[in-house]
Structure 1
Amino acid sequence: MTMAGAATRVCVGVVAPQTGRLAPLGEPLSFAVRTLARRLTRLHNSGRTYDVRIAVRDSRSHPEGARLAVHELADDEGANIVLTMAGTQVLPAAADTCEQLGVPCVSTTFPWQAYGCARGGDPLRSFRWTYHFAWGLDDIATVFADMWEQLGPRHTVGCLWNDGLQGRLLRHERFGFTPVAAARGHTLVDPGGYPEPATGFDSHLARLRDHGADILTSAATAADLALFLRQARTTGPVPRLITCSRWLTYPPTHTTRSPDVHRELAGASVATMVYWSPEHPYRSSLDGTGCAELARAYREETGQLWLQPLGLAHALFEVAHHALATALDPTDRAAVAQALAKTRTDTVVGPLDWTQGPTPNIALVPLAGGQWRQGPDGPRLTLVSNTRAPAVPLTGDVVAAR
Structure 2
Amino acid sequence: MASTPLCIGVVAPLTGRLAPLGAPLGYVLRALAPDLTHLRNGGRRYEVTVAVRDSRSEPEAARQAVRALADEDGARIVLTMAGTRVLPAVADACEEAAVPCVSTTFPWQAYLHARGVGREHRFRWTYHFAWGLDDIARVFAGLWEGVSVSGAVGCLWNDDLQGRLLRHERYGFPPALSGRGHRLADLGAYREPAGDFGEQVGRLREHGAGIVTSAATATDLALFHRQAREAGLRPRLITCSRWLTYPHIHTSPDPDVHAELGDARVATLVYWSPGHPYRSGLDGITCAELARAYQEDTGAPWLQPLGLAHPLLETAHHALATAADPADRASVADALARTRLDTIAGTLDWTTGPAPNIALLPLVGGQWQPGPNGPRLTVVTNAGHPEVPLTGDLTPAR
- List alignment gaps of at least 5 residues for structure 1: none
The corresponding residue for 2:153 is: 157
The corresponding residue for 1:226 is: 222
The corresponding residue for 2:89 is: 93
Question: Once the 2 structures are TM-superposed, how far is the Cα of residue 256 of structure 1 from its aligned partner?
Answer: 0.6
Q: Secondary structure at the match of 1:320?
A: helix
Q: Output aligned runs, 1:1-400, within 5 Å.
A: 6-152=2-148, 155-400=151-396
**Letter of the aligned partner of 2:345 in structure 1?**
V
Residue 386 of structure 1 contacts residue 392 of structure 1 at CA under 8 Å; is this kept in 2? Answer: yes
**Letter of the aligned partner of 1:251 in structure 2?**
P
Q: Distance in 1 between matches of 2:116 and 2:77?
A: 22
Instruction: Describe the superposition over 1:190-210 as per-residue Cα deviations: whole angstroms up to 9, x where unpaired.
Output: 022100011111111111211
| TM-score normalised by L of structure 1 | 0.97
Quick check: 171-180 or 59-68, which moved more?
171-180
Q: Secondary structure at the match of 1:257?
A: coil
Residue 112 of structure 1 contacts residue 132 of structure 1 at CA under 8 Å; is this kept in 2? Answer: yes
Residue 149 of structure 2 contacts residue 236 of structure 2 at CA under 8 Å; is this kept in 1? Answer: no
Instruction: Describe the superposition over 1:132-157 as per-residue Cα deviations: whole angstroms up to 9, x where unpaired.
Output: 00000000000000011111487510
Residue 104 of structure 2 contacts residue 130 of structure 2 at CA under 8 Å; is this kept in 1? Answer: yes
Q: Distance in 2 between matches of 1:155 and 1:323?
A: 50
**Letter of the aligned partner of 2:132 in structure 1?**
G
Quick check: 293-302 or 239-248, which moved more?
293-302
Distance 1:302-1:166 versus aligned 2 partners, 3 A rule: same
Q: Distance in 2 between matches of 1:335 and 1:143?
A: 37
**Letter of the aligned partner of 1:136 in structure 2?**
G
**Letter of the aligned partner of 2:14 in structure 1?**
Q
Q: Distance in 2 between matches of 1:153 and 1:142?
A: 17
RMSD (CA atoms): 1.2
**Letter of the aligned partner of 1:236 in structure 2?**
G
Q: Distance in 2 between matches of 1:388 and 1:34?
A: 34
Q: Distance in 1 between matches of 2:264 and 2:149?
A: 21
Q: Secondary structure at the match of 1:197?
A: coil
| TM-score normalised by L of structure 2 | 0.98
Residue 371 of structure 1 contacts residue 383 of structure 1 at CA under 8 Å; is this kept in 2? Answer: yes
Residue 166 of structure 2 contacts residue 172 of structure 2 at CA under 8 Å; is this kept in 1? Answer: yes
Q: Secondary structure at the match of 1:151?
A: coil
Q: Secondary structure at the match of 1:150?
A: coil
Q: Which runs of 4+ in 1 moved over 6 A?
A: none
Residue 151 of structure 2 contacts residue 208 of structure 2 at CA under 8 Å; is this kept in 1? Answer: no
Q: Distance in 2 between matches of 1:194 and 1:95?
A: 28
Residue 126 of structure 1 contacts residue 360 of structure 1 at CA under 8 Å; is this kept in 2? Answer: yes
Q: Distance in 2 between matches of 1:337 and 1:181?
A: 36
**Letter of the aligned partner of 1:273 in structure 2?**
L
Aligned length: 398
Instruction: Describe the superposition over 1:362-384 as per-residue Cα deviations: whole angstroms up to 9, x where unpaired.
Output: 00001010000011110000100
Q: Distance in 1 between matches of 2:300 and 2:384?
A: 29
Instruction: Describe the superposition over 1:139-197 as per-residue Cα deviations: whole angstroms up to 9, x where unpaired.
Output: 00000000111114875100000000000000111111222124311000002210001
**Letter of the aligned partner of 1:163 in structure 2?**
D
Q: Distance in 2 between matches of 1:156 and 1:124?
A: 34
Instruction: Describe the superposition over 1:97-136 as per-residue Cα deviations: whole angstroms up to 9, x where unpaired.
Output: 0000100000000000000000014244321100000000
Q: Distance in 2 between matches of 1:153 and 1:176?
A: 23
**Letter of the aligned partner of 2:310 in structure 1?**
H
Q: Distance in 1 between matches of 2:162 and 2:261?
A: 22
Q: Distance in 2 between matches of 1:63 and 1:398?
A: 38
Instruction: Describe the superposition over 1:67-90 as per-residue Cα deviations: whole angstroms up to 9, x where unpaired.
Output: 010000000000000000000000
Quick check: 105-114 or 231-240, which moved more?
231-240
Distance 1:123-1:205 versus aligned 2 partners, 3 A rule: farther
Residue 244 of structure 2 contacts residue 268 of structure 2 at CA under 8 Å; is this kept in 1? Answer: yes
Q: Distance in 1 between matches of 2:313 and 2:99?
A: 16
Q: Secondary structure at the match of 1:267?
A: helix
Residue 16 of structure 1 contacts residue 85 of structure 1 at CA under 8 Å; is this kept in 2? Answer: yes
**Letter of the aligned partner of 2:379 in structure 1?**
L
Instruction: Describe the superposition over 1:329-359 as per-residue Cα deviations: whole angstroms up to 9, x where unpaired.
Output: 0000000000000000000000000011011
Question: Once the 2 structures are TM-superposed, how far is the Cα of residue 266 of structure 1 from its aligned partner?
Answer: 1.3
Question: Once the 2 structures are TM-superposed, how far is the Cα of residue 32 of structure 1 from its aligned partner?
Answer: 1.1
Quick check: 196-205 or 128-137, which moved more?
196-205
Q: Distance in 2 between matches of 1:156 and 1:60?
A: 41
Q: Distance in 2 between matches of 1:59 and 1:370?
A: 30
- List alignment gaps of at least 5 residues for structure 2: none
